[in-house]
Amino acid sequence: MSETIFAKIAAGSIPADIVHDDDRCLVFHDVAPQAPFHLLVIPRKPIVNVAALGPDDESLVGHMVLVAAQVARDLGITGGYRLVFNCGRDGGQSVDHLHLHLLAGRPLGWPPG
């Protein structure tokens, strides 16, 4: 996997508005937000997308979801939110580094896209 912009953010070589940082993942504000709250949860481990996950990644993905929920609480998001993993180009993935979108702050319609 080539070094992506997310890997560079995780390494600290590209700045980001980081709201959570631990040894397994970090959370930062999306630079092109699609909602008043639009954050990205990325693992430090370089994984291309959901399709590339293996059995050893189960706890990492669970950790990412739990971190997203804690960040939502910390930001005072009370009206609900959406968590989204995009997978592959047809799934809307634009950066080849696994990431979980946390979207909130406006009504989110269904179906998306």
The catalytic residues are 99
**Dist. CA 64–CA 75, nearest whole Å:** 16
Coil, strand or helix at 12:
coil
Partnered with residue 85 across adjacent β-strands are: 100
Coil, strand or helix at 11:
helix
